[in-house]
Amino acid sequence: MMKKLYILVVGLLVAMNSSATSLKLVETEHEKGDRDNPPLTTYSYQSAVPLTVEYSYGYDSDHDENNLGILFSEQDIRQTYLGHTRFLVSDDSKRLQKSLRLPNKALKHGCFYNGKAEIQLDEVYVVRNDITTSSYGGIFIKNIKPLNAIKVKCNEY
C-alpha cells in the first residue's frame, strides 16, 4: 500500500513539475546602466510544446497601428519573469491574422477581435528595468491555430 502511495505521489509531482516548465529560460542578458539609462535584464524563453493562449487583435493607439497581442495562461508563466503582460507579436502578424481567420473589416475605435488559440512558440522575451522592475517584451510565433470562434469585444468608456 505504501509503495502504491509513494508511486502516486512521485507521479503527481512529476506531472506538476512538467506542466510548470512549459516555458524554458534559454538566455539571460544583462545590460549595465549609465547615468542616463537604468540597468536592464533581458530574459528569453522557448517552448517545445504547443501553448494555449488568449489573443486580441485591433488598433493599438500606443503604436498607431493594428497589433496582435498574446496573453499566456497563469500556469505557463509560473516561475518566469513574464508576468501578466499582453505581448505584441514581433514578426509577420499578417500571416498569423490569416491563420486565425480574422476578418479584414475595420473595427470601430476601442474594439478588438478576441479568442483562444494554440501557438507554437519560437521565442518570447521580456526586458526588465532592474531598478523599477517595469518591463516590456515581444513574441515570435511559428504557428497559430484558433481554438474557438472569434468574438468582438469593445472597451466601455
Among candidate residues 47, 39, 49, the one with its CA nearest the CA of residue 139: 47
Q: Report whether 109 contacts 124 (CB < 8 A).
A: no
Angstrom distance (rounded) from CA 100 to CA 102? 5
The tens digit of pLDDT for each residue in 81-136 reads 888 788 888 767 778 888 999 887 778 888 999 999 999 999 999 999 999 888 89
The tens digit of pLDDT for each residue in 29-74 reads 999 999 999 999 999 999 989 999 999 998 888 878 888 999 999 8
The tens digit of pLDDT for each residue in 143-157 reads 999 999 999 999 876
Q: Report whether 89 contacts 100 (CB < 8 A).
A: no
Q: Which residues contact 25 (CB under 8 A, 6 or more apart)?
A: 43, 44, 45, 80
